[in-house]
Structure 1
Amino acid sequence: MRRAGTAELKNNLSRYLSYVRAGGEVVVLDRDTPVARLLPFVPADHEQPGGEAGKDDSRGDERMAELERRGVITRGESANVREWLKSHHPVKLPRGSGSVVDAIIEMRDEERR
């Protein structure tokens, strides 16, 4: 295992990546404090080489089912979603009005006062 500060890692990234590709491990230090670890990538069974997920998204489905069981989410039925989208049209903002992001930031600022 090697250790490298952020400046050292930045200046010699290719060298460190070659070391990791060969099976090594690098601990990244920020002011002598470990903040990250570089390890060789090991794809999951359902992932394609190159890091792209395959078409099987069973872990995502399992996660959604778990969230639904816990009551964190409620999944809508696609027919209901289509009906809702047909009956609810996007809001048109008047010209010159701020963006939605600006409005959200303003609302958050008001809540903090």
Structure 2
Amino acid sequence: MKTASITEAKNNLSALIDGLEDGSPVLIADRGRPVARLEAALESDDGADAGRIARLVREGLARPARGALPLSFLAERPPRADPGESAVDMVIAERRESR
């Protein structure tokens, strides 16, 4: 990810926007501290979503699918929290169990 200061972003905004076509966002920093991120707003129909997913996987924010979802996945009712238990606690417990 390219980094630009606020002054550089102000003076070269058109060039930074043109550079977004390769799918790489620009991090804008104020005295070395990140304050904003400039990224493309519209996705094209030529597989740009696949590029975005690949970027999320590279950054460790998503994991690639291990296979197709079973057909029964959508037929099953989602789990419900027990009275007094929060959904967040359920998610944390599932992650600890590696589900």
Instruction: Calculate the TM-score normalised by the size of structure 1.
Output: 0.34
TM-score by length of 2: 0.37
Q: Which has the higher contact order (CA 8 A, sep 6+)?
A: 2
